[in-house]
Structure 1
Amino acid sequence: MTDNNGDTGGVICVGSRVTVTVPDPDRSMTYAGVVIEDYADMVIDSESVGRDWAPVHRWAIALDDGRLIFAHDEDLAAAD
């Protein structure tokens, strides 16, 4: 999906239809939506801020059910 320099190679970008898998200890849920923002320039390494909680998520996705969620690269897949 992306390489280490943040380049998506044109697969996922603002306006792309995606599926988002929300990890859960009991079961993961998958939702469909549209990418509305890419925060690649704002993503920072958790070690640089001295904490591992409240990580910055790269993508903002408007789900088809009206909710807004934020996700990491590994949680997204291009929709068919």
Structure 2
Amino acid sequence: MAVGSRVTVIPSGDTEPQVGVVVEDYAGNVIDNSDLGRDWAPVLRWTIALDDGRLVFAAEGGLELA
């Protein structure tokens, strides 16, 4: 998985998987939630431009190569 990879975003919940392209990798910015002192707004590793025009963020394990 790398910037430019075509991926399927695996949603948590009742939404359908979405396909798009990885546009950024924030591997150096990901921090364990326990280090933040909170469990909201964690840094997610991947930014994906979906085919429908939306920009989404996904954690490690939330993507599959398309």
Residue matched to 2:39: 52
TM norm structure 2: 0.94
| 4+ aligned runs moved over 2 Å, structure 1 | none
Question: In the TM superposition, what is the alpha-carbon distance from 1:48 to its structure 2 partner?
Answer: 0.9
Which runs of 5 or more structure 2 residues have no equivalent in the other structure? Answer: none
TM norm structure 1: 0.78
Q: Which has the higher contact order (CA 8 A, sep 6+)?
A: 2
Larger radius of gyration: 1
Which runs of 5 or more structure 1 residues have no equivalent in the other structure? Answer: 1-11
Counterpart check, 1:77 vs 2:43: no
User: What is the correspondence of 1:1-80 to structure 2 with a 5 Å cutoff?
Assistant: 12-24=1-13, 27-79=14-66
Q: Distance in 1 between matches of 2:39 and 2:61?
A: 17
